Structure 1
């Protein structure tokens, strides 16, 4: 299993965004193409890392990110 991650450009980086799945708002810190598999079969997904008001970061699918 490969552990190589790749940062992706995104037009909303460092901007205020909302995760439409949870409704939580924060600043988009990074978008990373990441292996999310917990088995031996690789499964890659673009994840958005969002930092909320408390300073905690969480991830969501990049398709769930919209401007706040």
Structure 2
């Protein structure tokens, strides 16, 4: 059985970013190519994990991430 996820390098890792969908700002902790399928057909998406100032992490599509301060 193949892995359900794999880490992806990204130029904004460990930098301050903003999730445009929620407005959350924080540090980009990881980008993961993750199989989110609940069926026999694989569905892979790249998810960004952002740690907010409160210490809680959120996940969002990598397309929703931009450098903070733009």
TM-score by length of 2: 0.88
* Pair 1:49 & 2:40 matched: no
* Pair 1:5 & 2:5 matched: yes
Q: What's the offset of the Cα at 1:2?
A: 4.0
TM-score by length of 1: 0.90
Which structure 2 segments of 5+ residues have no match? none
How many equivalent pairs are there? 68
Corresponding residue number in structure 2 for 1:58 = 58
TM-align CA RMSD: 1.3
Corresponding residue number in structure 2 for 1:35 = 35
Corresponding residue number in structure 2 for 1:18 = 18
Question: Structure 1, residues 22-61: CA drift from partner, whole Å, max 9, x if none?
Answer: 1110100000000111223210000000001111111000
Which stretch of the first structure deviates more once superposed, 51-60 or 35-44?
35-44
Which structure 1 segments of 5+ residues have no match? none
Separation in structure 2 between the aligned mates of residue 61 and residue 40 of structure 1, nearest angstrom: 22
